[in-house]
Amino acid sequence: MPTGEALRALAQADPQLGDAMDRLDAYPGFPRGYLARGSHFQAVARSIVYQQLAGAAANTIYGRVCALTPGSRFPNAEECLDLPTEAFRDAGLSAAKTRAVADLATQCRSGTVRLRAVGRMSNREIVEMLSGVWGVGEWTAQMFLIFRLGRFDVMPAGDLGVREGLRILDGLAERPGQREVLRRAERWRPLRSVATWYLYRLCDEAKRASA
């Protein structure tokens, strides 16, 4: 968790964000819950499964893949390589995501992806490493940094939720582009991940209000 002093400094640096921080739930810190369980491999694989899927559908497919091996967790890298492609496809995983999980497992086994070393790596190094996996882009790597590793200063400027949250925060007519998001986010350093979390909560608040 960031210190209380650091959170107060963030709110003071951006009064509009500060108002949102006062109104919304307190930043919980990460990792927590399911994000803190299992291996780094399983955390990245979970992100792959959940890419571009609604929560209910993703939960169903994820549960089916977890059921392919003993225990309640996602198969580990070696288990993924031992399972036939058809098993993932029958569980509902798309061909592209099946390929991505397989490539992640292959690169973990070969040592190209060194997930056990991420604690000694910079954010940029981790993004570059994970982006080398087929089907794993910058966004997935950034989510891993924020929600699995608990890195405080990550700015997923291309994320639709971040862009919509900033539109709400600043009362804009249209969602800002990535460059505008990055410029706006400079005042949130070194807690851009915290600001990101609040932008997501603004989106949630808007959805509840419109329901």
Domain co-membership, 78 together with 133 = yes
Q: What is the mean pLDDT of residues 143-154?
A: 95
Q: Looking at 125, 148, 171, which one is the last position of a domain?
A: 148
Domain co-membership, 162 together with 125 = no
Q: Is 170 a catalytic residue?
A: no
Domain co-membership, 56 together with 134 = yes
Average pLDDT, the chain: 94
Please give the Cα distance from 198 to 11 (Å, whole number): 11
List phi, psi (to 5°) of 36: -95, -5
Q: What is the mean pLDDT of residues 185-200?
A: 97
Per-residue pLDDT at 162 exceeds 80: yes
Residue 32 banded pLDDT, cuts 50, 70, 90: confident
Give me the number of domains the chain comprises.
Answer: 2
Per-residue pLDDT at 71 exceeds 90: no
Q: Which of 40-54, 70-84, 143-157, 176-190 comes out lowest in average pLDDT? A: 40-54
HSE-up (13 A, CA, CB side) for residue 187: 13
Domain co-membership, 106 together with 171 = no
Domain co-membership, 138 together with 176 = no
Residue 73 belongs to domain spanning: 33-148
Structure tokens at 201: 């909560």
Q: Pick the catalytic residue from 25, 159, 170, 204.
A: 159
Which amino acid is located at 199 in the chain? L
Domain co-membership, 39 together with 58 = yes
Looking up residue 71, the CATH number of its domain turns out to be: 1.10.340.30
Domain co-membership, 68 together with 104 = yes
Task: Note the pLDDT tens digit of each residue in 117-127.
Answer: 999 999 999 99
Task: Look at residue 33 in the predicted model and tell me its pLDDT.
Answer: 75
Domain co-membership, 81 together with 168 = no
Structure tokens at 193: 């991940």
Domain co-membership, 87 together with 169 = no
pTM attached to this predicted model? 0.90
Higher pLDDT, 166 or 53: 166
- Distance from the Cα of residue 85 to its chain's centroid: 25
Q: Looking at 106, 127, 148, which one is the last position of a domain?
A: 148
Task: Look at residue 2 in the predicted model and tell me its pLDDT.
Answer: 93
Domain co-membership, 167 together with 144 = no
Please give the Cα distance from 163 to 200 (Å, whole number): 9
Looking up residue 162, the CATH number of its domain turns out to be: 1.10.1670.40
Task: Look at residue 104 in the predicted model and tell me its pLDDT.
Answer: 97
Residue 148 banded pLDDT, cuts 50, 70, 90: very high
Per-residue pLDDT at 192 exceeds 90: yes
Residue 9 banded pLDDT, cuts 50, 70, 90: very high
Q: Looking at 104, 127, 148, which one is the last position of a domain?
A: 148
Domain co-membership, 86 together with 180 = no
Task: Look at residue 50 in the predicted model and tell me its pLDDT.
Answer: 86
Domain co-membership, 119 together with 161 = no
